[in-house]
């Protein structure tokens, strides 16, 4: 079920507020808030619609069980550090996210600056 809600947006910087304010707290401009009606859909539907395909198409994206994934040769981005490539399984996979963690002072930033 869609919910109709009124919000106020600053015409200068775009910050929103649930009520009208004279001076924008973000940009400091006076009398820039304008009322707009916002229609919010079902929360679950909004969460589903946030997933986007990387090819730009509008087809639905669904989770794929691990046994259904075809294993193949994935192109990897080689780094100047052969040991880092070895740890990453041969390099960085395009579109992936690599979390680098460790104790303070261990050299995470130094390692990533060299990549």
pLDDT in tens, 53-100: 566 666 666 788 888 877 777 788 998 889 999 998 888 988 888 899
Place of tokens 């960085």: 92
Asked if the structure places residue 83 within a domain, the reply is yes
Q: Do 44 and 81 sit in the same domain of this protein?
A: no
Asked if the structure places residue 30 within a domain, the reply is yes
Strand partners, 40: 3
Asked if the structure places residue 68 within a domain, the reply is no
Tokens of 4: 């109709």
- The helix/strand/coil state of 76 is strand
Q: Do 8 and 45 sit in the same domain of this protein?
A: yes
Domain span holding position 33: 3-49
- Give tens-digit pLDDT for 30-61: 999 999 888 776 555 555 455 555 666 666 66
Q: Using CA atoms, how far apart are residues 53 and 38, in angstroms rounded to an integer?
A: 26
Give percent above pLDDT 90 in the chain: 28
Asked if the structure places residue 103 within a domain, the reply is yes
Asked if the structure places residue 67 within a domain, the reply is no
Asked if the structure places residue 61 within a domain, the reply is no
Asked if the structure places residue 8 within a domain, the reply is yes
Contacts of 7 (CB under 8 A, 6+ apart): 16, 17, 18, 35, 36, 38
Q: Do 9 and 44 sit in the same domain of this protein?
A: yes
Q: Is the pTM of this model over 0.75?
A: no
What pLDDT is recorded for position 105? 94
Q: Do 45 and 7 sit in the same domain of this protein?
A: yes
Asked if the structure places residue 93 within a domain, the reply is yes
Domain count, the chain: 2
């Amino acid at each position: 079920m869609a919910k109709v809600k009124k919000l106020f947006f600053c015409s200068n910087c775009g910050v929103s507020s649930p009520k009208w304010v004279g001076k924008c707290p973000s940009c400091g401009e006076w009398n820039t808030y304008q009322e707009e009606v916002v229609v919010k859909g079902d929360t679950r539907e909004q969460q589903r619609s946030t997933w986007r395909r990387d090819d730009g198409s509008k087809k639905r994206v669904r989770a794929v069980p691990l046994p259904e994934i075809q294993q193949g040769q994935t192109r990897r981005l080689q780094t100047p550090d052969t040991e880092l490539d070895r740890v990453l399984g041969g390099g960085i996979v395009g579109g992936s996210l690599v979390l680098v963690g460790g104790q303070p002072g261990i050299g995470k930033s130094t390692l990533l600056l060299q990549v």
